[in-house]
Amino acid sequence: MLPELTKPAPPAADDSTFAAQMTWKMAYDEYKDDKVLFDKQKESLQDLRIFILQTVDAKYTTYTYGISSARNLLAKLKKSIAPSDKARRNEIYNLWQKQKHYPTERTVEKWLRDWETLYSDASRLRLPEAADDRAQIDFLLSLMEKHPEFAGYWRQRIAHRTDTKESAPSLADLVSKFRMQRHEQLAAQGKDSHWAYATTLQGWDIEPKQESTEATDPQGSCLCGKNHPGRNTTVAHKNASGA
């Protein structure tokens, strides 16, 4: 939240003695410095308020009417727009359930990043999905069908460390290890590691351009705009004209 500015007040004049006058002068000099800083901060906050009004979605402008400070404006928008913790918990829970399904190979990298993001959100909200080793187990279970060796090995390691009261590998560690192993497997198959990343543009999948398999005749293209397959274009034109 933005700080609430407090306008500095000038010191009360005191000329009863020379010492009092000198003290007042030093206090007044300090006040002038504080006033300059206050004016700059006030101007910056006004610029921020204008920026918010210019960039906020039109459907939310009704929440901005009659608010003169950037601080109050942000507080109003947060209260009116930001989801409650309860709504956010429900959202994260639903996303977590979907996350436990292994995706298509082209979207695995995004899926791995989503695991890390969801875990961070769940930890911040103190959801049970992020407690103890639950996230690691859910991640490994989601790999069991497609990558049983990796999932089985690390489930055994986690169980062993639990028995010996050692710390289990973090979710980030498991995601990193799986990503590295997957890239090594792709390399062994002769695939570039970039194949592991889904190619998208503004949310649309981009498929590699397929080369046409239709046979073309290198001699069939003619400046006349017609094709004369397998024939010399000059001869074709002479025959067509009766020459």
| Tens-digit pLDDT profile for residues 16-73 | 888 888 999 999 999 999 999 999 998 998 899 899 888 888 888 888 888 888 888 8
- Average pLDDT score, the chain: 80
Q: What is the DSSP string of 186-228?
A: HHHTT--GGGGS--EETTEE-PPPPPP-S---TTTB-TTS-B-
**Whether 38 contacts 5, CB under 8 Å:** yes
Whole-structure pTM value = 0.51
